[in-house]
Amino acid sequence: MIADLGVSRSEISGAYFTGTLAGAAALPSVGRWIDRAGVRRVIAIIGAFFGVVLVAMAGVRGLLALTAGFVGIRLAGQGSVTLASTTAVALWFDRYRGVAIGLSNAVGGGLMSLAPIVLGVAIAWFDWRIAWAAAGVTVWLVIVPIARWGLRNSPADMGAVPGR
């Protein structure tokens, strides 16, 4: 990316830092949206948006676009998907909520830690642009269907109560 975009490591780090701050600043608004619309709908929409951002990263041509991409990645992927997933787990568990969230965070963190490895392999085999596009398509094929067909907003939607 450094060579293709003609930017320095410091500029990429600055873009990532800006993306992290901007993405984090928006999370309270995402939380309000989750409260209003429900985790199922929000995760499906965020998953679709996250896929768009990742595919768009394949087409970045300069530092401004790269920074915008990092804002989208940090907001959607590591921010909103994590926030919505944690909220979903919290809605489904009562007595063992801490354990359930802990397990969810451990599994989610473990899976997220695989992303750089998988992307690194894809970059080595193909190209960084193809790796970003493939990551976006993967998000569309995994997160959106899980949100659409595998999630419910709360146990009450199914006539149940949170697990004890």
CATH of residue 16: 1.20.1250.20
Which range has the worst mean pLDDT, 10-14, 50-54, 154-158?
A: 154-158
Helix, coil or strand: residue 58: coil
Query: What residue numbers bound the domain in which 82 lies?
Result: 2-158
Q: pLDDT for 68-93, tens place per residue?
A: 999 999 999 889 999 999 999 998 88
163 falls within a domain: no
Q: Which residues, in sequence order, are CB contacts of 82 under 8 Å at separation 6+?
A: 108
The torsion defined by the Cα of 152, 24, 143 and 54, in degrees rounded to 10, comes to 160
- pLDDT tops 60 at residue 97: yes
6 falls within a domain: yes
- Domains of the chain: total: 1
Average pLDDT on 19-35 reads 96
89 falls within a domain: yes
Q: pLDDT for 41-54, tens place per residue?
A: 999 999 999 999 99
Distance CA 157, CA 49 (A): 25
164 falls within a domain: no
CA atoms within 13 A on the CB side of 96: 6
- pLDDT tops 90 at residue 158: no
Whole-number pLDDT of residue 162: 66
Q: Which residue has the tokens 């087409």?
A: 59
70, amino acid identity: F
